[in-house]
Amino acid sequence: MVSPAIALAFIPFLVTLIIRYRHYFLLFYRAVLVRRLQDCLTGISREERAFQYVLTHAIPGDPHHILETFDQWCYHCEYLSNVGPHKGKILDRLIYENTPLTVLELGTYCGYATILMAQCLPMGARLYTVEMDPRNAAVAEKVIRLAGFDEDTVELIVGASEEVIPQLKEKHGLLKADFVFMDHWKRCYLRDLQLLEAHGLLLEGATIVADNVIFPGAPHFLQYVKTCGKYQCKMHRTSLEYFRAIPDGMAELTYTGLD
């Protein structure tokens, strides 16, 4: 049994730990504990609750207002791992600068980044977005259509990325992508990038943007793109979506096609 004196000696350490990492504790509380409580109380998923809020408060056919409504939900109700407004500005700028005609998104989630990119695309462009979770895909489908984007502009593909990527050419008609946004499981970033390379799906000069490469992080992915000689790399230092005090970053890659 631990003596009272030893227990008291640990109190300053614990207080320092809590103060130092309070933002991470708050993230855990909002992302995990609140979610589980609300799941039990409502009987529906957090993503479906967010959609109901958007459906009630957002203006149909107005992508910008739908994104703002999502942000209100995430700041004041429950946490969602959307790209968020601050990193969204970086993504928005990169779409405008590159004017891609074929965009591939890995990790649709609720459709936040899908809408953000779709509203910036030039005429005649097409966005393919891949989501492995059928429940999240169902929410995203409703959100994307609520924003006013039809299947000619945004095609939602349901399935695991490692299964979908090899089928993109033959089954979905995506010959080469000139812009890729990765925001799915971070451990899949490297594998899926190499799959895109292996199947010749990256146009020379294509831009690849990977979110959350600092938190929760994608170290093997970053090591590969910095050392393989196929990419020019740039890091955008920012913060975790809806948590300004937690450092994060987005990796911007330009595919040179050189080995």
Give φ, ψ of 192 to 5 degrees: -75, -35
Query: What is the distance between the alpha carbons of residues 135 and 34, in angstroms, rounded to a whole number?
Result: 20
pLDDT in tens, 200-228: 999 999 999 999 999 999 999 999 999 99
Give φ, ψ of 212 to 5 degrees: 60, 35
In the chain, count of helices (H) and strands (E)? 12, 7
Question: Active-site residues: which are they?
Answer: 183, 186, 211-212, 241
pLDDT for res 258: 65
Amino acid identity of residue 39, one-letter, is: D
pTM, two decimals, is 0.93
Average pLDDT, the chain: 93
pLDDT in tens, 140-162: 999 999 999 999 999 999 999 99
pLDDT for res 12: 72
